[in-house]
A and B are shown apart, each in its own frame.
Chain A
Amino acid sequence: MRYVEAFASPAVVGPALAELRRALAPGRRYRLMEFCGGHTHALYRSGLIDLLPAEIAMVHGPGCPVCVLPAGPITAAIDLLERDASVVVATYADLMRVPAGRDSFAAARDRGLDVRPVHGPSEAYALAVAAPERRVVFVAIGFETTTPPTALVVQRAAREGRRNFFVYGQHLQSGAAIDHLLAAVAGGRLQLDGLVGPGHVALVVGAGFFAPFAAKGRLPIVVSGFAPFDLVRALTLLVRQVNAGRAEVEVAYDRAVTWDGNRAAQAAIDDVFEPRPRSVWRGLGELAGGSLRLRPAYRAWDAEHAFELRPVAASDHAHCLCPSILLGERAPLDCTLFGRACTPARPLGPCMVSAEGACAAVFHAGRHLLQRAGAARTESPCAPSR
């Protein structure tokens, strides 16, 4: 466990924080976004969020795949279960409680439909092998981290001629979301001084992937790991770039991330998937090239094709702030539903679900309790203090 615990120990993080404080320019404030929901959770779970200098405001980003997945594909998969008893839907546990209108995969399972939470595509494939009379549909979500595993399992299905395994491809491309953020910054809707780049996405796409975004948006990007030390190091590098007026890509996760990424993983994605002409993200709206579908060569394993799935839009809760929270415009505690009508046990919006949703991160850290006790620091760097 050396390579996990060492980077979280006070003996390592303390000096890194001191270095971060020394890097700050006098009188300057920094608005920095962590793109990845895993980083949001790491900031709260470790308590690091309270140790950061007051000059640094963290803005939570859209990098939460279950948060930005629209309700339509969930509804389409549940409809399929209702009309075809041979179908088993397998998906990541994170997706089970995501609301789709008044429904969810968890609610569907409660009324007897066959939905199985799995840890990954291999487990979904094993279900198909074990039950040849059933048709297993793996609802595949996630950014570039989970896409290569899905691609490899589709290739395996093709190789082994497995005809009762299908993928409903909802994988997302982080580049499209970063483009969207840059447009919001350029349009004055979002103020940002720098971006903490997603470390595990970078394992696949490589740090070099972010260089065009840094250049185009004149925005410093530092790819970070998920340990407190990595995050503090990333913020230090960002602060130095801001001070120097630089906008480059740097890596604060040298032990795992390379400039070129994992070529084999990139090749697997490219072999199996192609960008959809258009896709709709919850909160962010329509993004060109934002999500992937299976290529025609793999049509026999494409659930969308085999079952003629047509996602229907489902409306979200009228008071849910998730769309603006995903864009960094509002913070979880700005939402009137937070911690009252909407909790991780009974989420009304997708940001309250998952190990990556910003509302879930803030809730698990007990921030709403502190706020009610009047003890919370200003939680929202974006909204005026209340």
Chain B
Amino acid sequence: MCLAVPARVVEVHADGGGVVELGGVRQDIRLDLVPDAAVGEFVVVHVGFALARLDVAETERTLALVAAQRDEAP
């Protein structure tokens, strides 16, 4: 019930609807709750509704941090 997945926005419609893509599969969803979401961004989708935008900069920062730790590790 509370499972959700990050998916890339590929279409934004004027009526609050849109299309996302995840692993090559496209799905119609509602974007009413993340009205700023733009094509190319990632959103977290839940029972057919986007609930949040994924902060790509933050994501890359986290991954870079881990990579740095790994390189420092003995």
Q: Residues of B with Cβ closer than 8 Å to A?
A: 1-6, 22-23, 30, 32-35, 42, 44, 46-49, 51-56, 58-59, 62-63, 66, 69-70, 73
**Residues of chain A with a CB closer than 8 A to B42's CB:** 3
Total A-B residue contacts, Cβ distance less than 8 Å: 122
B47 touches A146 (CB 8 A): yes
A120 in contact with B2 given A11-B70, A15-B73 (CB within 8 Å): no
A6 CA to B23 CA, complexed, in Å: 14
Which range holds the interface residue count of chain A? Answer: 35 or more
Q: Residues of A with Cβ closer than 8 Å to B?
A: 1, 3-4, 6, 11-12, 14-16, 18-19, 36-38, 63-66, 92, 94, 119-123, 141-143, 145-146, 148-149, 152, 198, 200-201, 203-204, 226, 229, 254-258, 262, 264-265, 268, 354-356
Further contacts, 16 of them, CB under 8 A, given A142-B1, A152-B49, A256-B44: A16-B66, A18-B73, A121-B47, A142-B2, A143-B2, A145-B2, A146-B47, A200-B46, A201-B2, A254-B62, A255-B59, A256-B53, A256-B54, A257-B52, A356-B2, A356-B3
Q: Which of A94, A119, A255, A257 contacts B62 (CB 8 A)?
A: A255
**Residues of chain B with a CB closer than 8 A to A121's CB:** 47-48
**Residues of chain B with a CB closer than 8 A to A65's CB:** 1-2
A63 in contact with B32 given A6-B63, A119-B47, A255-B54 (CB within 8 Å): no
A12 touches B63 (CB 8 A): yes
A355 in contact with B3 given A15-B66, A256-B44 (CB within 8 Å): yes
A262 in contact with B66 given A38-B2, A143-B1, A355-B3 (CB within 8 Å): no
Q: Min CB distance, B26 to chain A, in Å?
A: 14
**Residues of chain B with a CB closer than 8 A to A198's CB:** 2
Q: Which of A37, A123, A145 contacts B46 (CB 8 A)?
A: A145
A-B contact pairs, 17 of them (CB 8 A): A3-B6, A6-B63, A12-B63, A119-B47, A120-B47, A122-B48, A143-B2, A145-B1, A145-B46, A149-B48, A203-B44, A203-B52, A229-B66, A254-B58, A256-B55, A264-B32, A355-B3
Most A CB within 10 A of own CB, among B42, B44, B55? B44
A229 CA to B63 CA, complexed, in Å: 10
**Residues of chain A with a CB closer than 8 A to B62's CB:** 254-255
Binding site secondary structure of chain B? mixed
A18 CA to B70 CA, complexed, in Å: 10
Q: Which of A1, A200, A256, A257 contacts B2 (CB 8 A)?
A: A200
B46 touches A3 (CB 8 A): no
A355 CA to B4 CA, complexed, in Å: 12
Q: Min CB distance, A62 to chain B, in Å?
A: 12
A119 in contact with B58 given A92-B1, A229-B66, A356-B1 (CB within 8 Å): no
**Residues of chain B with a CB closer than 8 A to A148's CB:** 33, 49, 51
A257 CA to B55 CA, complexed, in Å: 9
Q: Which of B2, B23, B55 contacts A255 (CB 8 A)?
A: B55
B73 touches A146 (CB 8 A): no
A63 CA to B3 CA, complexed, in Å: 12
- In order of increasing CB-CB distance, the 5 nearest A-B pairs are A120-B47, A120-B48, A255-B59, A203-B52, A149-B49
A37 touches B2 (CB 8 A): yes
A152 in contact with B32 given A120-B47, A143-B2, A201-B2 (CB within 8 Å): yes
Q: Min CB distance, B20 to chain A, in Å?
A: 13
**Residues of chain A with a CB closer than 8 A to B52's CB:** 203, 256-258, 262
